[in-house]
Amino acid sequence: AFDVELAATGRTLRVPADRSILDVLGEAGVAVMSSCEEGTCGTCETAVLAGEPDHRDSVLSERERASGRTLMICVSRARGDRLVLDL
Ligand code: FES
C-alpha cells in the first residue's frame, strides 16, 4: 500500500495493494477521466509532482517512463510510500 496526495487540496488517500489509484480516487469522489482501465488507452494520464511511479501501463514511451513525471493511474503504482499527483 502507499499514499497518494492530491496537490490541489492536500488530501491524502491510502491505496491498498488490491486497488488501483483510479479506484481509490473514484470512491473518494475525485473525478478523473478513464476509459480502458487496463493501461492501454492513455485517458487517465496524470502528472506526478513528487514520488517515484511504478509504471505498469503500455502507453508511455521509455523516455516518459524514465522522467517519472507522469503515470497511468488505472494500473500504475508507487515504488515508495507516497506519490503527489497534480489533481
Ligand atoms: Fe486507459 Fe488508464 S484508463 S490507460
Confidence at residue 43, expressed as pLDDT on a 0 to 100 scale? 98
pLDDT tens digits, one per residue of 11-40: 999 999 999 999 999 999 999 999 999 999
Size (the chain), residues: 87
Lookup: cell for 58:
503500455
When pLDDT is averaged across residues 45-71 and rounded to a whole number, the result is: 98
Confidence at residue 6, expressed as pLDDT on a 0 to 100 scale? 98
Confidence at residue 64, expressed as pLDDT on a 0 to 100 scale? 97
Atom of ligand 1 nearest to the CA of 42: 4
Q: Kindly state if the Cβ of 74 falls inside 6 Å of ligand 1.
A: yes
Lookup: cell for 27:
470512491
Q: How far is the CA of 33 from the centre of ligand 1 (A)?
A: 9
Query: Among 25, 33, 34, 60, which residue has the most ligand 1 atoms within 8 Å of its CB, making it the best to mutate?
Result: 34
**pTM, whole model, 2 decimals?**
0.96
Greatest alpha-carbon span in the chain: 32
Confidence at residue 26, expressed as pLDDT on a 0 to 100 scale? 97
Atom of ligand 1 nearest to the CA of 37: 3
Confidence at residue 17, expressed as pLDDT on a 0 to 100 scale? 97
